[in-house]
Homo-oligomer: A and B are copies of this chain.
Amino acid sequence: MAHNQRTATDCRSGIRCGPTPMIEIKTAQAWQGVADCQACAIRAMVLFADLNEEDFRSIHQPIDDLLIAAGARLYPEGGPAGSLFTVRTGTVKLVRLLADGQERIVRLLRAGQVAGLEALTTGVYDSEAVALEDTQVCRIPGAVVRSLSQRSPRLHGQLMQQWHGAVREADAWLADINSGPASRRVRQLILRMRLPGDPAVVRLFSREDMGAMTGLTLETVSRELSALARTGLIEPLDRQGRSYRICDPDALALR
């Protein structure tokens, strides 16, 4: 692709707090928070899985529960990284701006993953984070995690796993959906975007975003999707091109 100059969907608004904005969770209330988080989609916020009450008492900064509207930005590339964000529900894209103004989506984060781990080290966000749909996150000050991770071996282990997951994702992103012909890229992307609850269904994104993920133009992505639908490997479930039924997963996985 000879870099298309179009810019991605506008993210005009900053962080927007939803119905339950800025819920402060600290000390005694923290247990409530943990209980909530353990209840929330599977592993979300596992970071704090085994902290004890004393640990929570030592937290002197607020942990906020935020609802990020679709298209809103969690933080900008190069911005000061004060907090990390555990994704509870929804999807976050990590975007890097190229020198020529193009945007490249380097990774997606979903429930249980953490955005902004940079807050633990350099203090500068390496990429922009934007919600792809309405998304719930917990905003945790980096200092909180840094100090707790010294004390709690299991938090320490969870951080390792988060980092490892990020590296794995990044490598897979390159090897799976940014390698080979257009058809393979789109097919791999589809397989990765299956709903955890129902693997026979995918929720996709704007063709522009899908292009920024695969390194293709939006037109090529659209054509490939149409071709897959025509061949019967997938079947549209709506008329906006966002949901598809996967009819033949094995055929999609072919090379």
Interface size on A, residues (CB 8 A): 44
**Nearest CB in chain B to that of A127: its residue:** B171
Chain B residues in 8 Å Cβ range of A94: 171
Q: Give A78 Cβ to nearest chain B Cβ, in Å.
A: 13
Q: Is A6 an interface residue (CB 8 A)?
A: no
Copies of this chain present in the complex amount to 2
Given A3-B181, A174-B178, 16 extra CB contacts under 8 A: A3-B180, A96-B174, A100-B255, A102-B179, A104-B174, A107-B171, A121-B157, A121-B161, A126-B171, A127-B171, A150-B156, A160-B163, A163-B163, A170-B170, A174-B174, A178-B178
Chain B residues in 8 Å Cβ range of A218: none
Chain B residues in 8 Å Cβ range of A37: none
For the complex of A and B, the 3 pairs showing the least CB-CB separation, nearest first, are A163-B163, A170-B170, A96-B175
A215 interface neighbour in B2, B106, B161, B178, Cβ under 8 Å: B178
Q: Mark A residues whose CB is within 8 Å of B.
A: 1-3, 94, 96, 98-100, 102, 104, 106-107, 117-118, 120-122, 126-127, 149-150, 153, 156-157, 159-161, 163-164, 166-168, 170-171, 173-175, 178-181, 215, 253, 255
For A99, A118, A175, which residue has the most chain B Cβ atoms within 10 angstroms? Answer: A175
Q: Give A5 Cβ to nearest chain B Cβ, in Å.
A: 11
Q: Give A143 Cβ to nearest chain B Cβ, in Å.
A: 14
A174, B175: Cβ atoms closer than 8 Å: no
A160 interface neighbour in B96, B102, B121, Cβ under 8 Å: B121
A122, B164: Cβ atoms closer than 8 Å: yes
**Nearest CB in chain B to that of A182: its residue:** B2
Q: Give A121 Cβ to nearest chain B Cβ, in Å.
A: 5
**Nearest CB in chain B to that of A166: its residue:** B167
Chain B residues in 8 Å Cβ range of A163: 117, 160, 163-164, 166-167
A179, B122: Cβ atoms closer than 8 Å: no
Docked complex Cα distance between A2 and B184 (Å): 10
Q: Give A163 Cβ to nearest chain B Cβ, in Å.
A: 3
Chain B residues in 8 Å Cβ range of A159: 160
Chain B residues in 8 Å Cβ range of A107: 171
Q: Give A180 Cβ to nearest chain B Cβ, in Å.
A: 5
Chain B residues in 8 Å Cβ range of A150: 153, 156
B255, A180: Cβ atoms closer than 8 Å: no
Docked complex Cα distance between A150 and B159 (Å): 13
